Amino acid sequence: MGVRRRARELALQMLYQHELTGEPPEAIQSDFEVWKTAPEAAQLFADELLRGTLEHLEEIDGLLARQTAHWKLDRLAAVDRNILRIAMFELLYHRETPPAVVIDEAIEIAKRFGAEESSRFVNGVLDGFVKRGRAHPE
């Protein structure tokens, strides 16, 4: 597994933990054994994804709510919701990562951590967002 995929998975696990407990990133990282043994490059990118997603959570959730018009965010599976949040952060704020890569990574992570239909759902939401031209704003 590549460093960036590992980082995205770490970010997902920590964001999920944050959503459940409300603990700050530092507390989550200090108790997370997988985090402690991850390569430094994965830790740095995961931390950037986690903190960036949390910093822009209100904006990201607003965009997701519009993109998932028939689904309330709190009704989405927590894993799917957090995969979407991290991917949306990347689509909005990481110009160096092509949207197709962000979507593919989110789909693969959804296959690993989500339910049977998660990957299709994540693909549909993110693909629709990109097609509406909202990724990588100025």
One pLDDT digit (tens) per residue for the chain, 138 residues: 689 999 999 999 999 999 999 999 999 999 899 988 999 999 999 999 999 999 999 999 999 988 877 777 778 889 999 999 999 999 999 888 999 999 999 999 999 999 999 999 999 999 999 988 765 544
Would you say residue 79 lies in a domain? yes
pTM reported for the whole predicted model: 0.91
Give the chain's domain count: 1
Query: Which CATH number belongs to the domain containing residue 94 in this structure?
Result: 1.10.940.10
Supply the DSSP string of 9-52, one letter for each residue.
HHHHHHHHHHHHH---HHHHHHT-HHHHHS-HHHHHHHHHHHHH
Domain range spanning residue 7? 3-131
Would you say residue 94 lies in a domain? yes
Give CA–CA dist 64/83, Å, rounded.
Answer: 11
Would you say residue 36 lies in a domain? yes
